[in-house]
Amino acid sequence: MANLPFPVQMSFFIGGAICVFMWQMGVRKVRKGGRDREERIISNLDRLAPYLPIENAKMEKVDGNCCVCLGELPGGIMRKVVCGHVFHASCIERWILHSVERYLDVKSFVRSPHGFLVPGSPWPSCPLCMKLLLVIDETDIRDAISEALYYHNHNPSGLQMFG
């Protein structure tokens, strides 16, 4: 590099600085997008699995264990999902957020027999009865498909065939 003329060295330096800057901007956008997605999912979860006050848990005779952490119910703040199952609020939130991240992970997308990219993981669901929980926003699905198309067009060896 020392043998190159100064303008060429400067262009390498500026090009490298621009690459680092663009990478940092992309990382920040991904992190911010993740927080926005998490907020939307929790908001949707509030609608689909409202908090269950301890008095209601006693009236509904909730007892047994939370199947996520195996801790006793009732205990702490709980949520009741649409299928009627009750979990500790923090447990079901963690379960759903993990399920959504797996579902929307661009590396898990596979190509269907018709040639479409589809998620390779199951839709988020109740841990007990597997009833689907519609917590993912249409925007998040659209973004994940766009990211998956970009990722798999640039990494074709990572794409699996469905079925």
Determine the 3-state secondary structure of 68 from DSSP.
coil
CB proximity list for 53: less than 8 A, separation 6 or greater: none
CB proximity list for 131: less than 8 A, separation 6 or greater: 81, 82, 83, 125
pLDDT at 25: 62
Question: How far apart are the C-alpha atoms of 111 and 135, rounded to whole Å?
Answer: 24
pLDDT at position 119 over 60: yes
pLDDT at position 28 over 50: no
CB proximity list for 34: less than 8 A, separation 6 or greater: none
pLDDT at 51: 86
pTM: 0.66
pLDDT at 50: 85
For 128-161, how does the pLDDT look when each residue is reduced to its tens digit (9 = 90+)? Answer: 899 998 888 888 888 888 888 888 788 766 555 5
Residue 95 contacts residue 135 (beta carbons within 8 Å): no
The residue that leads in pLDDT, 17 or 39, is: 39
Question: How far apart are the C-alpha atoms of 140 and 137, rounded to whole Å?
Answer: 5
pLDDT averaged over the chain?
78
